[in-house]
Amino acid sequence: MNRQVDVLVIGAGPAGLAAVIAAKEDGIDNLLVLEREHESGGILRQCIHNGFGLHRFGEELTGPEYAQRDIDRAAELGIEIQTDTTVLSVSHAREVTCVSAKHGLQIIQAKAIVLAMGCRERPRGALGTPGTRCAGIYSAGTAQKFVNLEGYMPGKRVVILGSGDIGLIMARRMTLQGAKVLACVELMPYSSGLNRNIVQCLNDYNIPLYLSHTVVDIKGRERLTGVTVARVDEHRQPIPGSEIEFDCDTLLLSVGLLPENELSEGAGVKLSPVTMGAEVNDALATSVPGIFACGNVLHVHDLVDHVSNESFRAGRAAAAFARGELDDMEEIAVRDGEGVRGVVPQRIRKGAAQGVDLMFRPTSVYKNAACVVTCGEREVARKRALIFTPGEMAVVSLKPDAVAGLDGPVTVRIERS
Amino acid sequence: MHSDIIIVGAGVTGCAVARVLSRYEADVTVIDRGADVADGASKANSGIVHAGFDAHPGTLKAKLNVQGAQMYPDLCEELGVPYSQPGALVIGFNEEDRATLERLVDQAEENGVPGVRILEREEALALEPQMNPQVLCALYAPTSGLTSPYEMTFALADHAALNGVKFRLSEEVEGVVRGADGLWHITTDKDEHTCRVFVNCAGVGSASLHNMMGGQPLRIIDRRGQYYLLDRISKLPFEMTIFQCPTKMGKGVLVSPTVHGNLLLGPSAEDIPDELDTSTTAEGLAFVLEKSRLTWPNVAVRGTITNFSGIRAHEEKGDFIIGSVEGCEGAYEAVGIESPGLTAAPAIGEMLGGMIASEQNLRKKAEIEPPYQRKKPFHEMTNDERAQAVAENPLYGNVVCRCEVVTEAEIREAIHRPVGATTIDGVKRRTRAGMGRCQGGFCSPRVAQILSQELGISMLEVTKSGGESRLLTGTIHDAMKGETP
C-alpha cells in the first residue's frame, strides 16, 4: 500500500472535478484525483464550440472555458490531481492500482471512490457496416481531437454517419475549416442530437440530413474513396434500389456513446443493461459500498451542466460515506414505464430527505406529451413538454415531500395527450 | 540489386522459409507488396493450429499440417509467440454427420494425430454447455491449438532479419525472367533485382508469379473468408474451437476463442475475382452469423468490435505445391498455401528451406543469432513486474491504449523491432494498441504521433497500412489557405 485517502476520484473531466470540489467543500481534505490525460478537463478540452454552462452559469461558454472554471476552483481548494496516470484496477474493497511515469505503480486505499471515467464512442465494428477497412474512417470525437487539439485535418470531403451531437458539431467544424461535408446520415427517423445542433450545425451550412438512411458499403483500398448510403425500412433494413453514392475521403461516425465501465466491472459494480452504466440510488451510490458514479460513466448526458449537478451530489455522498455518515436505508425501485428508457437513479432511499431528479431517454419522439411518475396508483409528479425526443435527456423532479411519501416502486412513463 | 536468394512474399510461409535460409551463408532478400510482413492471408485467418484430422492422408497438406502442429508449442516458446491448446470439437447433427466424423477419426489415425475420438451428445455438451443442444455427437481433437498468425509471422521475420535477411516492403514485383546470365531478373515498381535462386511464396499472387516464370500454368482461386470478432470478456461462452462438419469449400464456419481471449466467428467462403478485395459484404456477414447460430444458438453480436476478411489462395487441384519449379532452374515455390497453411508454415519452412539449402549447396553459418526477445506485454505483467518495468523505463508508466492496456514503451519498442512497425496497423498487430473495444478511437492520434517521432516523418505521412492510406490530409492552416475544395 502506497497511500490511503478519504475520497479518490477517477477522472478529472467535468464529472470528476465537480465531485472532488463538492467533497472538499463538504469538509474532506485527504483527496486525490487520478487523470489519464496530460491535462484536466476531459472531453471538454476539445469541445471548443460554445453552448456550455447556460444552466449552471447562465452564460454561454466554450468547453475549455467551462472546464477551466472547475480546474481553477480545484486549484484554489488545493486539490491534488495526478495527471498522466492510468488506473489499472479498482477492487471491491476500494483498493486502486494505477500507473504513471512520474509515480510508477501505486496502490491506493480509499474510503470512498467516485467513478468519473466518462464514455467512449461506438466504433464502426459495433455497427457491422460492411466494406473495406481503409484509412479515413474516424469516430467524430477522434476527428475532433485531430482538428481542435492537434491542428490537423482528417479529410476534405466528408460524410457523417449518425446524428449524435459530436457528429453535428464536427459537420460545422470541418466546414468552417474548409472541408466539404456532403451529408449527415441517420438510421432512425429522428436525430439523436440536440435540436439546436441540427439547426446551427447542419441547416445553417446547408448540409443535408438524411433520416432513415444508413451507410451500406464503404469503398477504398488504402484511403476511403466513397460510401454507399441507402434508405432503410421500418425495421431499419436497407431498401434495395434506394442507394446513393457519395464520393468522399472521410467518414465520420457519430453513432452513440458507451459509458466506459471496465474498471467498475472489475470492482464488481452492478451495471444496468439499459444505460450500460452503474445502477445507483439517489445518492449516486453503486451496488458496491463506498463506490459512487456520476457523469457519462453513469449514463450518457447531453448537457455538461447536468453532469456537474449530478457529480456535486456524488461528491457530497462520497464525502459523507468517508466520514461514516451515509447510512444504509431501505430503497424503492424506480422502473422504466411506457416511452421511457434508462431512468437514473434506479433506486431511491426511502428516507432521503431531499428532492430527486429522475433522468431518462424517451424511446421515441412524443409531441405535446407529459412525463408522469407514479407510485402504485398514485401520481407523484408530472411534467409537460412540447416535445420529448430520444436526442434530449428528459428530467422530472420529485419534490422532497413526494419522496418522503413513497411507499412502493416508482414508475416513470410518458403519456400522450 | 543482387541477392543470392530472393523470396517473394512476406507472409507466414515466406518468412518461415527466410528464417530457415538465414541459417546458411547466403544473401537473402524478401520482397512484398504489402507495407508490412503478414499483410495478406497471414493477418486475416482463424489463427487455429489445426490438429491435422481433416487433410486427406497422403497429401502434402496432411503431412505438413501434422508436422507443423507438432512444431508449434516449442517454436512459439522459442519465438515468444502466444500459443494455447484448448482442443477442438467438430459437431454433427445427424447420422450423415456422424459418418463424416467417423471418417475424420479414421483419417486422424492415418495422419498420426493423437487422441481424436467421438463424443456423444451429453459428453460434448458437458464440455461446452453453450453449444446447440440439438447436437448429436462431436469429434474431439485435444491437440487443436490457437496462435496469433501475424505475431508468428513477425517473430519469424524478426529472427530472419537478425540473421541477415533483408526485407523490402511496399515493393511490388512486376516481372520475373531468367536471363542469359543464368540469373533470375526481377523487376519491381521500385528497382531491378537479380538472384541465383528465386522463391515464390506469394500467396494469392503466387500463380501469376509462377506463370510469369514460365512454369506449367497454374490457377489460384481467390477464396474470401469473412469474420466477426467479438470483444474480450472475462468468461467466453466457449473454451474450445467449435467446427461444423466440413464441406467441399473448406472447414466451414467456426466459433472459437482467439489466443488473446476474443471470440471469432467465421469464415465464409466465396470465390472472388480480385485477389486484393478484402472487403466484407452484408451477405457474407449475414452468412457467418446464420451459420454460427447453428453452433451457438445464443450468438450475440452485441459485443462485435470489428469484421474483416482474408483471402485464401486455393489451388485448383486442392493440395499444397511445394518444391522446385519444373522447367525453371533455380526457382522454387510454395503455392496454394491455404488452410492449414498457418499450421504447416514451420514445416513448409524446413522442407522448402532445407531443399534449397541442399540443392544449392549452401553452407551452414558457424553461429546463428537467437530469436528477438520481445519483453512481456505490460498487461500480462504482475504488479511487481509492472513496478519494476516503470522503474527501469518510465515510458511503461504511460498507458496509450486504454482498452488493451498498451504502454508507450511497448509502442516504441514495436517500431524498433528488427522488422519494425511503420504504420498504425503495424503497431496494432505488434502491440494490440487499437485492437480493443474502441478500435483505436482514443489511441490512434497518439500512436500516429509516436510513429512520426520514431520514423522521423511528418504526421501527414503517417499511414494506416502503407501506400496512400494516410490518416490526415493537411493541417488546419493549409485548409484555410484554400487548398481544399
Tens digits of per-residue pLDDT, B384-435? 999 999 999 999 999 999 999 999 999 999 999 999 999 999 999 999 999 9
Tell me whether residues B397 and A135 touch, CB distance under 8 A.
Answer: no
CB contact at 8 A, B367 and B357: no
Which residues from A are below 8 Å from B470, CB to CB?
135, 223
Q: Using one digit for the tens of pLDDT, what is the confidence trace for A183-226?
A: 999 999 999 889 999 999 999 999 999 999 999 999 999 999 99
CB contact at 8 A, B87 and B141: yes
Is the domain spanning A330-417 CATH 1.10.3470? The answer is no
- Cα gap A142→A276, rounded to integer Å: 22
A180 interfacial to chain B (CB closer than 8 Å): yes
Reduce the DSSP state of residue B459 to 3 states and report it.
Answer: helix
What are residue A5's DSSP bridge partners? Answer: A110
Contacts of residue A401, defined as CB under 8 A and 6 or more positions apart, other chains included, come to none
Tell me whether residues A223 and B470 touch, CB distance under 8 A.
Answer: yes
Across B21-39, average pLDDT:
98
B170 interfacial to chain A (CB closer than 8 Å): no
CB contact at 8 A, B202 and B209: yes
Give span(s): CATH 3.50.50.60, chain A. 1-121+257-328, 123-255
φ/ψ bin of B6: left (φ > 0), alpha (ψ from -120 to 50), beta (otherwise): beta
Cell output for A298: 453513469
First to last CA, chain B: 43
Tell me whether residues B279 and A131 touch, CB distance under 8 A.
Answer: yes
> Residue A207 has what pLDDT?
98
CATH topology of domain B2-42+150-219+318-359: FAD/NAD(P)-binding domain (3.50.50)
Calculate the alpha carbon distances from B167 to B164, B177, B204 in Å.
10, 21, 19
- Cα gap B264→B247, rounded to integer Å: 20
Determine whether B235 is exposed, middle or buried from the number of CB atoms within 10 Å of its CB (0-12, 13-18, 19+): exposed
Across A94-120, average pLDDT:
97
Cis peptide before B82 (omega within 30 of 0): no
Question: How does strand B192-200 pair with strand B331-335?
Answer: parallel
Active site residues of B: 50
> Residue A352 has what pLDDT?
80
Q: Using one digit for the tens of pLDDT, what is the confidence trace for A342-364?
A: 999 999 998 887 899 999 999 99
What CATH class does B82-145+221-309 carry?
alpha beta
Which residues from A are below 8 Å from B266, CB to CB?
none
> Residue B484 has what pLDDT?
47
CB contact at 8 A, B42 and B180: no
Nearest residue, CB atoms, B305 vs list A126, A130, A216: A126
Q: What is the mean pLDDT of chain A?
A: 96
A 260-279 → B contacts, CB under 8 A? 262
Contacts of residue A402, defined as CB under 8 A and 6 or more positions apart, other chains included, come to A355, A380, A381
Which residues from A are below 8 Å from B447, CB to CB?
none
B284 interfacial to chain A (CB closer than 8 Å): yes
Determine whether B98 is exposed, middle or buried from the number of CB atoms within 10 Å of its CB (0-12, 13-18, 19+): middle
Percentage of chain A with pLDDT > 70? Answer: 100
> Residue A192 has what pLDDT?
87
Shortest CA distance to A306 belongs to which of A39, A6, A53, A1? A53
Give span(s): CATH 2.60.40, chain A. 330-417
B476 interfacial to chain A (CB closer than 8 Å): yes
Contacts of residue B101, defined as CB under 8 A and 6 or more positions apart, other chains included, come to B90, B92, B118, B137, B138, B139, B245
Q: Which of A288-297, A386-395, B22-31 has the lowest mean pLDDT?
A: A386-395
Q: Using one digit for the tens of pLDDT, what is the confidence trace for B312-370?
A: 999 989 999 999 999 999 999 999 999 999 999 999 999 999 999 999 999 999 999 99
Q: pLDDT category, B481, cuts 50, 70, 90?
A: low
Residue A7 distance to chain B (closest CA, Å): 23
What CATH class does A1-121+257-328 carry?
alpha beta
Enclosing H/E stretch for A309: helix A304-322
Continuous H helices in B178-281: 206-213
Contacts of residue A76, defined as CB under 8 A and 6 or more positions apart, other chains included, come to none
Which residues from A are below 8 Å from B445, CB to CB?
142, 145-146, 150
- Is the pLDDT score of A127 beyond 90? no
Question: How does strand A50-52 pair with strand A31-34?
Answer: unpaired
- Is the pLDDT score of B248 beyond 80? no
- Is the pLDDT score of B247 beyond 80? no
Q: Which CATH number fits domain B378-478: 1.10.10.10, 3.40.630.30, 3.30.2320.80, 1.10.10.1100?
A: 1.10.10.1100
What single DSSP character describes residue A164? Answer: -
* Single pTM value for the model: 0.95
Half-sphere exposure of B110 (CA within 13 A, CB side): 14
Shortest CA distance to A397 belongs to which of A348, A350, A332? A348
Across B130-136, average pLDDT:
96
> Residue B479 has what pLDDT?
65
Phi/psi of residue A314, each to 5°?
Answer: -65, -40
A 228-257 → B contacts, CB under 8 A? 238, 249-250
Percentage of chain B with pLDDT > 70? Answer: 98
Residue at grid coordinates 484430422: B53
A226 interfacial to chain B (CB closer than 8 Å): no
| Domain residue limits, chain B | 2-42+150-219+318-359, 82-145+221-309, 378-478
A 138-177 → B contacts, CB under 8 A? 138-139, 141-142, 145-147, 150-157, 177
Count of beta carbons in the 10 Å neighbourhood of residue A284: 27
Q: In this structure, which amino acid lies at residue B114? A: P
- Cα gap B378→B388, rounded to integer Å: 11
Question: How does strand B137-141 pair with strand B88-92?
Answer: antiparallel
- Is the pLDDT score of A417 beyond 90? no
Calculate the alpha carbon distances from B347 to A183, B12, B54, B340, B352 in Å.
53, 11, 17, 11, 8
Q: pLDDT category, B485, cuts 50, 70, 90?
A: very low
- Cα gap B410→B451, rounded to integer Å: 12
Q: What is the mean pLDDT of chain B?
A: 95
Q: pLDDT category, B309, cuts 50, 70, 90?
A: very high
> Residue B141 has what pLDDT?
98
Q: In this structure, which amino acid lies at residue B178? A: R
With CA atoms as reference, the chain A residue closest to B483 would be: A178
Longest dimension (CA), chain B: 72
> Residue A353 has what pLDDT?
75
DSSP string of B272-319, one letter each residue: ES-TT---B-HHHHHHHHHHHHHH-TT--GGGEEEEEEEEEEEETT-S
Phi/psi of residue A233, each to 5°?
Answer: -85, -170
Cell output for B48: 487455429
- Is the pLDDT score of B70 beyond 60? yes
Q: In this structure, which amino acid lies at residue B484? A: T
> Residue B233 has what pLDDT?
79
Reduce the DSSP state of residue B470 to 3 states and report it.
Answer: strand
> Residue A147 has what pLDDT?
97
> Residue B215 has what pLDDT?
84
What CATH class does A123-255 carry?
alpha beta
Tell me whether residues B473 and A216 touch, CB distance under 8 A.
Answer: no
Tell me whether residues B477 and A134 touch, CB distance under 8 A.
Answer: no
Q: Using one digit for the tens of pLDDT, what is the confidence trace for B225-239?
A: 999 999 887 789 999
- The distance from CA B119 to its chain's CA centroid, rounded to whole angstroms, is 31
Nearest residue, CB atoms, A151 vs list B394, B442, B476: B476
Which site among B439, B475, B481 would you substitute to test the A interface, given the most A Cβ atoms closer than 10 Å to its Cβ? B439
- Cα gap B368→B266, rounded to integer Å: 40
